[in-house]
Structure 1
Amino acid sequence: MGKLVANVDDDVKERAAALYESLGMNLSTAVNMFLRQSLAEDGLPFKPTRRYAGMRLTPTETTRRAMVEAEAKELGVVPDDSVVCDTAADAHDHLRKLRERA
């Protein structure tokens, strides 16, 4: 079984965890259900709208900065020194090297 890492606002994660617990499941099960339903629908399993009360509709400062940085790299304004890891072993080696530098 693979592992999925996702960045989620803390308040959204807490509220979603409480919601799914009240339905008798954890976040992992809910995410698996979402992904499986996406495959069954061949797309998002819901129609996205902007009517979500209480949810952030604008990116956080961290997200905005990441978006600007990604666009700058795409346009060649700043060098893209990203490390590409084709296998899990490559990723582990890269992380080990980063830890050794620190």
Structure 2
Amino acid sequence: MNVDDDIKERAAALYESMGMNLTTAVNMFLRQSLAEDGVPFKPRRYAGIRLEPTEETRRAMVEAEAKELGLIPDDAVECRTETEVRNHLRHLREQAR
């Protein structure tokens, strides 16, 4: 991926002001784009205001960084509800047969 140096520097400064590095921001954007099958949000910057991320955003940032560092495999399954856990376990059992 080729990015103009000026754009890259400005974007890095923007995301740094939001508490993350450029690589983490790009990974978050790409993963969420895939999850939503399109652009997942309308990015904005509010001059003079440092917004605190929501708990969901904070978790996504930690997960993206953990995947970036290889602590969590890219193909790791995420289960948010008990039903999703049960369905995933059922799927694993069927694969083992």
Q: Same fold (TM over 0.5)?
A: no
Which TM-score tier does this pair reach, normalised by the shorter chain?
Answer: 0.3 to 0.5
TM-score by length of 2: 0.40
Answer 1 or 2: higher relative contact order, Cα 8 Å, separation at least 6.
Answer: 2
TM-score by length of 1: 0.38
User: Which protein is bigger by CA-based radius of gyration?
Assistant: 1
